[in-house]
C-alpha cells in the first residue's frame, strides 16, 4: 500500500446501523487508510470489510451506491458554482435531472448555501466549502456517510457550526455516520461510540462514557486532616489512593453517586474532609492511557502533504 | 437508491460535461489556444507561398524566352505532382486541422493530474462510475474541445483563402470530422494514459513539449511524404497525424492517390488501441 509500511494492521470493527462512530487518532494513525478501504478507494491486501451489506473487495460497485463520502480535502471544483458541483455529483450517481434539482436545492437549503448556489466555489470561505462538501456527500441519499476529518483546519466556531449541520442532517436522514478526527472533544461530544486508533491498530472501542470509565473512573482529590487513617478507610473500601501534593488522589468509578458513600465512611471514622474535588477524565487522558502519548506527528506521503496544505490554505482563505 | 441500474457507459457524459463547462466558461483560454495554429496559417502559410515560386513572375530562365503561360503551366504541374493541389496554403491549412487537434488533445492528462493532486479523484473514485469511464469521459471532452477548435481554424483558413475541391459535399466535412475525432480520441487517451499515475504536472508539461514538435514534423503536415528522406518517411508512416492529414486532404482538397479506407482504418485502430488501453489501465492504476 505504501511500500512496505503497513498503514493499517488487522483492524476489527463493527458499526451498527444509525450509529455515529468516531475513529480517533493522531495524524498517521491509519484513520484515513481505514476509511479509504471502507469507501473502496484502497484495496485491503488482506481481510475484508462489509459496508451496507456488501463486500468492499468483491462488490465495490454496490458499496459505492450506498455510501456518501466527505473526504479530508476540498473536492468541489473551484471553477464551478456550488449548484454545478452538486449537479455534477448527481450525474455521477445517475440521478435523474428533476430529482437531482430537487435534492440539490434541498441540500443547499439545509447547509444554508442557497444564496451562494450560483457563485463560483473559488470565492467560498473554508466553512462554506465544508458545508458544500457535506451537501455533495449526501446527494445520493447514502445509507452510510463517511466523514474524514470534517472540521480539519477550521476555527472553533466554524467547527461547532459544521457539527450542528451534521447533527441536523443525521436527524433528518437518519443515516449511519462514521467520522475520523484527531480532536478529542469532537469525538467525545458527537460520537455514540469511539474507536481509538494508533499506529494502524485499534487500541480501544467504546462509548465515550465507557472509555472514560475504563481508565478507572473519575479522578477524586481529597484534602483530609489525617492521611494515614483516610488511606486505611479507603483501602477497606477497595480504593487505592495515592498521596499527591498534600492530598489524596484516587480514581473512582461513577463518582457522583459513589462519593457520598465514601465521605460518610470517612466521617464515620472521625476523619475531617476539608476540601474535595471531582474531575471527569477527559478523552485526552483516555487517549494517553491507551497510546502512551498525546499527539504524534507521523510522516505522510508528499502527495498527502500537498493535498493537506492545499486544503488548509483553502480552509483559511 | 441502490436498485438504480448503471449501463456500461455510465458517467462518461457526466465527466465530460464537467470538463466542458469548465472550458467554455473561460473564453480567454479558448482564444489563446487558437493563436498558434492561426499564426502558422497567417504567417507561415501565407508567406511560404510555394505556388508563387513556380510562376512566371519569379521564374525566368536566362537565354530561354519561354512564354509566361508555359512557365505558369509548368509550375502548376510541379505543385500538383508534389502537393496534389496548386496552392500550398490549402495544403497547409488542411494540415493545421490535425495540428490544433494535437495541441488540444495533449492537454487531456492535465486535468487528471490536478484532480489527483487536489483529492478530487479520490472523491470521484467513491462514486459508482466505472473507473475506466472516469478517464474516458475526459477523453470525450477533449475530443469535443478539439473539434470545436478545429472548426475555428477551418473557418479562419477559409477566410484567408483556403480553396476546396470542386464538387465538395457535406459528406466530405463529415469525414473530416470523423478523422479528427478518431485522431483526437487516440491522442487524448494516450496522454491520459501517461497521466494515470502521475501527480506532477511539470513532468506532464515536459512530455507535452517534448513530443509535440516531433509528432508534427514526422507527419505530412508541412510537406508530403514523397518529399521526405527515406528515414523520415519510415517514421511518418506510423504517425497517425499523417493519416488524418491524408484523409482530410483527399476529402476537402481532392488530393489524388488517397486511400481513404487505409486512412480511416489506421485512425480507427489508433483510437481503439489507446482508448482500450486507457480503459484497461484505469481499472488497475487509478486507485492507489
| pLDDT of A307 higher than 80 | no
Is position A10 within any domain?
no
Grid cell listed for B209:
513539449
> How many domains, chain A?
2
Judging contacts by C-beta atoms under 8 Å, the chain A residues touching residue B25 are 79
| Residue A18 CB neighbours (<10 A) | 11
Q: Which residues pair with A278 in a beta bridge?
A: A220
**What confidence tier does B213 reach under pLDDT thresholds 50, 70, 90?**
confident
Instruction: Let me know whether A298 and A265 are in one domain.
Output: no
Same domain, A69 and A193: yes
B184 φ/ψ angles, rounded to the nearest 5 degrees: -65, -40
Q: Report the percent of chain B where pLDDT is more than 70.
A: 94
Residues A101 and A234 in one domain: no
Check whether B280 has a pLDDT greater than 60: yes
Instruction: Identify whether the C-beta of residue B128 lies closer than 8 Å to the C-beta of residue A65.
Output: yes
Q: Which residues of B touch A84 (CB under 8 A)?
A: 21
Closest by Cβ to A92, choosing from B26, B122, B124: B124
Alpha-carbon distance values, A42 to A7, A34, A92, B152 (Å): 11, 9, 20, 44
Residue B5, pLDDT > 80, answer no
The whole-angstrom separation of Cα A304 and Cα A72 is 10
Q: Which of A50-59, B5-14, B51-60, B85-94 has the lowest mean pLDDT?
A: B51-60
> Quick check: B120 and A73 CB within 8 A?
yes
Q: Mean of the pLDDT values across residues B5-11?
A: 86
Note whether residue A149 is domain-resident.
yes
Contact across the interface for A94 and B22, Cβ inside 8 Å: no
Closest C-alpha to B186, from B130, B232, B242 = B242
Residue B158 has pLDDT above 70, yes or no: yes
Asked if the C-beta of A173 comes within 8 angstroms of chain B's C-beta atoms, the answer is no
Specify whether A107 is located in the same domain as A126: yes
Provide the shortest C-alpha distance from residue B193 to chain A (in Å). 19
pLDDT for the residue A215: 76
Q: Which residues of A touch B288 (CB under 8 A)?
A: 1, 36, 41-42
**Pair (A94, A141) in one structural domain:** yes
Cell numbers for A195: 474507536
Asked if the model's pLDDT at residue A121 lies above 50, the reply is yes
Q: Could you list the residue range(s) of the whole structural domain that residue A45 is in?
A: 20-211+289-316
Q: Has residue A39 been placed in a domain?
A: yes
Torsion of CA B60, B64, B70, B75, to 10 degrees: -40
Does A253 fall in a domain? Answer: yes
The confidence band for B73, taking pLDDT boundaries of 50, 70 and 90, is: confident
Q: Is the pLDDT of residue B118 over 50?
A: yes
Instruction: Tell me whether residue A132 is exposed, middle or buried, using C-beta atoms within 10 angstroms of its C-beta: 0 to 12, 13 to 18, 19 or more.
Output: buried
Q: Which three cell numbers mark B224?
A: 508530403
Instruction: Give one DSSP letter per residue of B220-271, joined into a string.
Output: TSSS-GGGS-HHHHHHHTT-HHHHHHHHHIIIII--TT--HHHHHHHHHHHH
d(CA A9, CA A5): 10
CA distances from A189 to A19, A133, A308 (A): 14, 22, 25
Tell me, yes or no, whether A13 lies in a domain.
no
User: Which residue in B122, B129, B130 is closest to A71 by CB distance?
Assistant: B122
Q: Is the pLDDT of residue A184 over 70?
A: yes
In this prediction, residue B1 carries a pLDDT of: 47
Highest-scoring range by mean pLDDT, A155-159, A172-176, B140-144: B140-144
Regarding whether A27 and A163 lie in a shared domain, the answer is yes
Q: What confidence tier does B190 reach under pLDDT thresholds 50, 70, 90?
A: very high
What pLDDT score does A278 carry? Answer: 85
Which residues of chain B does A94 touch, with a Cβ-Cβ cutoff of 8 Å? 4, 6, 10-11, 128
Any idea what the CATH number is for the domain that residue A180 is in?
Answer: 3.40.50.300
Q: Which of B11, B288, B2 is nearest to B130 (CA)?
A: B11
pTM above 0.90, yes or no: no
Cβ of residue A297 closer than 8 Å to a chain B Cβ:
no
Q: A220 and A206 share a domain?
A: no
Q: What's the whole-number mean pLDDT along residues B132-144?
A: 96
Query: A296 or A77: which carries more pLDDT confidence?
Result: A77
Per-residue model confidence (pLDDT) at position A202: 86
Task: Tell whether A251 and A108 lie within a shared domain.
Answer: no
Return the closest-CA partner of residue A235 out of A266, A264, A213: A266
Q: Does the beta-carbon distance from A73 to B119 stay under 8 Å?
A: yes
DSSP states of B91-140 as a string?
HHHHHHHHHHHHHHHTTHHHHHHHHHHTTHHHHHHTSSS-HHHHHHHHHH
If you average pLDDT over residues B197-210, what whole number do you get?
Answer: 86
Work out whether strand A247-252 and strand A242-244 pair parallel, antiparallel, or are unpaired: antiparallel
Amino acid A7: pLDDT: 55
What is the least distance, in Å, from the CA of A206 to any CA of chain B?
28
A102: contact with B, CB 8 A cutoff: no
pLDDT of residue A158: 84
- CB distance A194 to A282 below 8 Å: no
Q: Do B1 and A66 touch (CB under 8 A)?
A: yes
Per-chain mean pLDDT for chain B: 88
Alpha-carbon distance A85 to nearest alpha carbon in chain B (angstroms): 9
Distance, in angstroms, between A146 CA and closest chain B CA?
A: 11
Q: Do A89 and A64 fall into the same domain?
A: yes
Closest CA to A105 of A87, A121, A120, A88: A87
C-alpha cell at B269: 485502430
Per CB-CB distance under 8 Å, the chain B contacts of A92 are 11, 14-15, 124, 127-129
Q: How confident is the model at residue A300 (pLDDT cuts 50, 70, 90)?
A: very low
Same domain, A129 and A233: no
pLDDT in tens, B242-269: 999 999 999 999 888 889 999 999 999 9
> CB–CB of B125 and A73 under 8 A?
no
- More confident position, A222 or B36: A222
Task: Indicate whether A63 and A121 sit together in one domain.
Answer: yes
Amino acid at each position: 500500500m505504501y511500500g512496505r509500511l503497513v498503514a493499517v494492521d488487522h483492524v476489527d470493527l463493527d458499526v451498527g446501523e444509525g450509529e455515529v462512530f468516531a475513529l480517533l487518532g493522531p495524524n498517521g494513525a491509519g484513520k484515513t487508510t481505514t476509511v479509504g478501504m471502507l469507501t473502496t478507494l484502497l484495496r485491503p491486501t488482506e481481510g475484508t470489510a462489509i459496508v451496507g451489506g456488501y463486500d468492499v473487495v468483491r462488490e465495490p460497485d454496490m458499496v459505492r451506491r450506498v455510501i456518501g463520502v466527505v473526504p479530508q480535502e476540498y473536492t468541489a471544483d473551484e471553477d464551478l458554482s456550488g449548484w454545478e458541483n452538486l449537479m455534477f455529483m448527481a450525474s455521477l450517481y445517475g440521478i435523474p435531472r428533476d430529482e437531482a434539482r430537487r435534492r440539490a436545492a434541498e441540500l443547499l437549503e439545509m447547509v444554508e448555501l442557497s444564496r451562494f448556489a450560483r457563485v463560483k466555489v473559488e470565492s467560498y470561505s473554508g466553512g462554506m466549502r465544508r458545508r458544500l462538501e457535506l451537501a455533495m456527500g449526501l446527494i445520493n441519499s447514502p445509507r452510510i456517510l463517511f466523514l474524514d476529518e470534517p472540521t480539519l483546519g477550521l476555527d472553533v466556531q466554524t467547527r461547532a457550526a459544521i457539527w450542528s449541520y451534521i447533527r441536523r442532517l443525521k436527524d433528518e436522514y437518519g443515516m449511519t455516520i462514521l467520522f475520523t478526527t484527531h480532536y478529542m472533544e469532537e469525538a467525545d461530544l458527537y460520537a455514540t461510540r469511539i474507536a481509538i486508533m494508533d499506529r494502524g491498530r485499534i487500541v480501544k472501542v467504546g462509548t465515550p462514557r465507557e472509555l472514560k470509565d475504563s481508565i478507572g473512573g473519575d479522578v477524586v482529590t481529597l484534602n483530609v486532616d489525617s492521611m494515614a487513617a483516610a488511606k486505611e478507610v479507603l483501602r477497606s473500601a477497595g480504593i487505592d489512593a495515592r498521596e499527591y501534593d498534600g492530598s489524596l488522589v484516587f480514581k473512582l468509578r461513577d463518582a457522583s453517586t459513589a462519593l457520598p458513600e465514601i465521605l460518610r465512611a470517612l466521617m464515620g471514622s472521625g476523619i475531617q474532609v476539608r476540601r474535595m474535588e471531582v474531575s471527569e477524565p477527559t478523552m485526552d487522558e483516555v487517549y494517553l492511557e491507551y497510546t502512551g502519548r498525546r499527539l504524534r506527528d507521523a510522516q505522510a506521503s508528499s502527495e498527502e502533504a500537498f493535498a493537506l496544505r492545499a486544503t488548509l490554505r483553502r480552509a483559511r482563505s | 437508491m441502490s436498485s438504480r441500474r448503471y449501463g456500461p457507459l455510465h458517467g462518461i457524459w457526466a465527466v465530460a460535461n464537467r470538463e466542458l463547462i469548465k472550458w467554455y466558461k473561460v473564453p480567454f483560454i479558448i482564444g489563446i489556444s487558437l493563436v498558434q495554429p492561426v499564426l502558422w496559417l497567417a504567417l507561415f502559410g501565407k508567406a511560404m507561398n510555394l505556388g508563387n515560386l513556380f510562376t512566371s513572375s519569379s521564374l525566368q530562365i536566362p537565354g530561354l524566352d519561354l512564354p509566361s503561360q508555359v512557365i505558369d503551366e509548368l509550375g502548376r504541374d510541379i505543385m500538383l505532382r508534389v502537393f496534389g493541389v496548386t496552392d500550398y496554403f490549402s495544403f497547409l491549412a488542411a494540415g493545421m486541422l490535425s495540428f490544433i487537434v494535437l495541441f488540444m488533445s495533449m492537454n487531456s492528462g492535465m486535468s487528471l493530474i490536478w484532480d489527483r493532486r487536489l483529492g478530487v479523484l479520490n472523491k470521484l473514485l467513491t462514486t459508482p462510475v466505472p473507473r475506466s469511464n472516469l478517464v474516458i469521459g475526459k477523453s470525450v471532452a477533449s475530443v469535443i474541445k478539439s473539434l470545436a477548435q478545429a472548426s475555428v481554424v477551418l473557418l479562419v483558413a477559409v477566410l484567408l483563402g483556403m480553396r476546396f475541391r470542386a464538387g465538395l459535399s457535406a459528406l466530405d466535412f463529415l469525414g473530416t470530422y470523423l478523422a479528427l475525432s478518431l485522431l483526437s480520441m487516440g491522442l487524448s487517451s494516450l496522454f491520459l494514459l501517461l497521466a494515470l499515475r502521475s501527480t506532477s504536472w511539470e513532468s506532464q508539461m515536459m512530455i507535452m513539449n517534448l513530443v509535440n514538435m516531433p509528432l508534427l514534423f514526422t507527419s505530412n503536415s508541412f510537406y508530403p511524404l514523397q518529399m521526405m528522406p527515406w528515414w523520415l518517411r519510415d517514421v511518418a508512416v506510423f504517425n497517425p497525424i499523417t493519416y488524418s492529414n491524408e484523409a482530410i486532404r483527399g476529402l476537402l482538397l481532392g488530393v489524388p492517390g488517397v486511400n481513404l479506407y487505409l486512412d480511416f482504418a489506421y485512425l480507427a485502430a489508433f483510437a481503439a488501441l489507446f482508448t482500450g488501453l486507457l480503459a484497461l489501465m484505469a481499472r488497475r492504476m487509478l486507485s492507489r
